[in-house]
Amino acid sequence: MRADSVWAPHGHRYAPSEAVDFVVVGAGAAGSVVARRLAREGFSVVVLEQGPFLGTKDFSHDELGVMTLNGITNDHRLQPNVFQEGPGQPATVRPAVLYGKLVGGGTVHFTANYWRFHEVDFVEKSRNGAMAGAAIEDWPISYADLEPYYTMAEWELGVSGQAGASPFDPPRSKGYPMPPMPAKSIGVLADRGAKKLGWHSYPAPMAITSVPFEGRPPCAQCGFCEYFGCEYGAKSSPLPKIIPQALATGRCEIRPGSTVRKVEVDDAGRVTGVTYFDRTRAEIVQRAKAVVLCANGAETPRLLLMSKSNRFPDGLANSSGAVGKYFMPNGGNMVGGLFEHEVNGWKGAHVSRVIHDFYELDPKLGLQGGGGLDTRWDLYPTGFGIMGLDPAGPQWGRAWKQQLRHAFNRTLYSVTHTTSLPIETNRITLDPEVKDTFGLPALRLTYAHDPRDVALYNFFEARAAELLTAAGATSTWSIAPVEAPPLPATHTLGTCRMGNDPATSVTDKYHRTHDVPNLFIVSGASFVTSGRGQPTETIQALAFRAGDAIAQWGRAGGR
Amino acid sequence: MNTDQPLDRRTFVTWLGGVGASLTLVQSVHAEIFAEAGAPPTWLTFTAKQAALVDAMTACIIPLDDAPGAHETGVTTFIDRWIAKHEPASKVRYAAGLDDLEQRTRAAHPEARSFTTLTEAQQVSLLQTIEKDPFFGLVRTHAIMGYLGAPSYGGNRGGAGWKAVGFQNHGIWSAPFGWYDRPGNDAR
């Protein structure tokens, strides 16, 4: 049981009846960055967050409590999802999306992979041409537009890495603020395999402190990164710095336990505030002169679709019909390899090496997009026992137990991260029947793999197995068969895409919705194409850039 | 090029002190490992007979070898508490699944009173006939959760499951992490 204090509001207190300059919905990767910027600029800001406000002392190594019982993620028992594997297929209640539900959002529990997108990720259409059945578009901004904000994100959040270590890296104006994390055995083996194959492994850029940084300790290498909050404050989520600085302005309030159900508009079609449920399920209207939605790529479109009105019968900011469409979860497989000696991947931060030799593929291969692979360990004992071993081997009993005990310290995984194509029918909608604990329509995800994405998964799965074999694995296996949809999805991208054309996109290139002049969207929802895995740095770079644009808009009078 | 920044434990502890944190963090992690959970005086989910069946079944899934198995580490206690507290819908699945197991036992071994009285070899071959069933999958998942989850949930007594696989919830590690990054073994 959590103390009531984790639900207490922080910072300056505003009355709901007071029209603040900005309401920010979601205190995660993007919302925290935008809120700090706007508050520093002198605006009054209320941040509404569904989850609690936790600190380092609240984080544990309890695998069952954190992972199985959704300790810091959305709880599907309270907010069920409905999944449908393509239009017209049966719809069933099952976890479809997973996101950090606490102040700091998904960046509290992420693995901390912090990859920039490359130039090609913003210009897929002009580089590779249109694609049948996929809504591939260029972004309305380029890598060069975003580069200063990537640098800002790396230095403001605190990222460890080695600039120039990958020959495939896009140009950068500045190196990383901290040296890379330790190689560990998982990195030594990656380097060994890559060298044999003529590939280029390089130290993974991680949003984790490798050395003392701005009063924060270096990573203790406890090994509990993915899904867990960092009890040392070494993971560079917004919790150690961005959020305290936002609150320190004296103009920002963070209100945990606030579940927004509707964005309110007036007869002129302008946003006037939001209606939300507080912890007692009382409905409260927080008035605002403008609203910024930073509620990830799943809940943002759901909220817009729930915000129907006479003026906006198809959902708010949805004249294009694009709200909820083009859901992209990034693809990827997990390939295991068994080694002769102890790898002990579970000791220390999870990812140590990345390989980007296949970021852009030879057109002769006939594949769309590209990706990366890494070497890692991100299972915990229970997860390893349930699904970590070769599925072709014994799954219980004496032989299985022997293998479990032998392999726990000798297994290394290579995880692949690939493009998802933007497919119109892969989308978030409101379920017509199932309701959540507040009586609101459940989030429905309709998603079917595009065969071109599957071809890419298969290509990368083969590369991962090749890498592990070259590194000396005595056997390899895949534990994420491509036939299954990748559920629950943690990368929720593309559902409110940016663009220059109001007929085909939801926001302009400054994140303002085409339809509503004082409504902004900044999150993974803003993505036009999926990139090639690891979206967090791009989400945060967008947030830094959007903060500039929204502040400028506000200074100019907020029209 | 060596870009690693290994951090030995003393440096880390010094650092903790430097930023005002205390060693209690490290100690509490240790306390968690050694927390012992006793058997409940009464079952919260199962009847005594059901508990015995679950115990026999999970002992086949995670048997005793030179390390403790499910029975020795309190897995049945874990499952009983877990369902009562977090997964009430599974109670009927267990009731039905265990009934089915007893029926199968009588069909295969008319002389036997219960699955619990079969030899281990008989139990294992019976379970092999249902290993693809959702109920078996549920019990397997619960057994592993009980064996390798935190001891505070009632299983993994004394951290014995963790010891069996070689995991330590230590809280702080530094290089070398494994054999391959030990100086001299790095064959780059």
Q: Which residues of B touch A217 (CB under 8 A)?
A: 12, 15-16, 19, 21
Instruction: With CA atoms as reference, report the closest residue to B54 among B90, B97, B92.
Output: B97
Give how far A399 is from chain B: nearest CA, Å.
Answer: 10
Q: Chain A residue closest to B165 (CA)?
A: A405
Distance CA A484, CA B34 (A): 39
Res. A277 pLDDT band, cuts 50 70 90: very high
Query: For residues A100 and A539, is the Cβ–Cβ distance under 8 A?
Result: no
CA angle at B71 for the pair B67 and B77, rounded to the nearest 5°:
130
Kindly tell me if the per-residue pLDDT of B187 is higher than 70: no
Q: Mean of the pLDDT values across residues A176-181?
A: 98
From B69's Cα to the closest Cα of chain A, the distance in A is 9
Q: Judge whether residue B37 has pLDDT over 50.
A: no
H-state helical runs in A54-183: 63, 106-109, 124-128, 143-153
A62/B177 Cβ within 8 A: no
- Asked if A218 lies within 8 A of B15 by C-beta distance, the reply is yes
Structure tokens at A534: 């690891």
A482 pLDDT band, cuts 50/70/90, is low
Q: How confident is the model over A364-406, as pLDDT tens digits?
A: 999 999 999 999 998 999 999 999 999 999 999 999 999 999 9
Contact (CB<8Å) B150/A63: yes
Question: What confidence score (pLDDT) does residue B11 get?
Answer: 33
Nearest-CB residue to B180 (from A189, A348, A408): A189
Question: Measured between alpha carbons, how far is A449 from A484 in angstroms, rounded to an integer?
Answer: 9
Q: Which residues of A touch B15 (CB under 8 A)?
A: 212, 217-218
Two structure tokens written together for B36: 């012992």
Beta bridge partners of A263: A274
Question: What is the share, in percent, of chain A residues with pLDDT greater than 70?
Answer: 99
Beta-carbon separation of A397 and B19 below 8 A: no
The pLDDT, as a whole number, for residue A114 is 98
Per-residue pLDDT, averaged over B50-57, amounts to 98
Alpha-carbon distance A67 to A56, whole Å?
A: 17
> pLDDT band at residue B75, thresholds of 50, 70 and 90?
very high
Mean pLDDT rounded to a whole number for chain B: 83
pLDDT of residue A481: 61
pLDDT of B34 strictly over 50: no
CB distance A30 to A540 below 8 Å: yes
Instruction: Give DSSP secondary structure letters for A407-421.
Output: HTTTEEEEEEEE---
With CA atoms as reference, report the closest residue to A106 among A525, A536, A488.
A536
pLDDT digit string, tens, across residues A218-266 = 999 999 999 999 999 999 999 999 999 999 999 999 999 999 999 999 9
- What stretches of A476-535 show up as alpha helix (H) in DSSP? none
Asked if A558 and A289 touch (Cβ cutoff 8 Å), the reply is yes
Helices (H), A273-368: 296-306
Q: Look up tokens 């495939």; give the residue.
A: A168
In chain B, pLDDT over 90 holds for what percent of residues?
73
The closest CB to that of A183, out of B4, B67, B153, belongs to B4
Helix (H) or strand (E) holding B136: helix B134-148
Of all helices (H) and strands (E), which one includes residue A81?
strand A81-84
In this predicted structure, the answer to whether residue B16 has a pLDDT above a threshold of 80 is no
**DSSP H or E stretch at residue B15:** helix B9-18
Are the beta carbons of A385 and A261 closer than 8 angstroms?
no
| Chain A stretch 192-221, residues whose beta carbon is closer than 8 A to a beta carbon of chain B | 192, 195, 203, 210-212, 215-218, 220-221
pLDDT, mean of residues A299-309: 97
Total number of residues shown for chain A: 559
Structure tokens at A392: 């072709």
Q: Give the per-residue pLDDT at B186.
A: 64
Restricting to A residues 326-355, those with a Cβ less than 8 Å away from any Cβ of B are: 339, 341-348
Contact across the interface for A211 and B124, Cβ inside 8 Å: no
Q: Which range is least confidently modeled, A101-110, A205-214, A347-356, A482-491?
A: A482-491
pLDDT at B1 > cutoff 50: no
Enumerate residues 6+ apart whose C-beta is below 8 A from A391.
Answer: A477, A479
Q: Which helix (H) or strand (E) holds A277?
A: strand A271-277
At CA A323, angle to CA A252 and CA A119, rounded to 5? 80
From chain A, the residues in CB contact with B69 under 8 A are 401
Beta-strand relationship, A371-376 and A351-355: antiparallel
Contact residues, chain A, for B186 at CB < 8 Å: 188
pLDDT at A378: 86
Encoded tokens for A165: 């270590």
A408: its two tokens: 């726990």
Q: Among residues A530, A504, A380, which one has the least CA distance to residue A447?
A: A530
**ipTM confidence score:** 0.94
- Mean pLDDT over residues A343-368, rounded? 96
Collapsing DSSP to helix, strand or coil, A210 comes out as coil
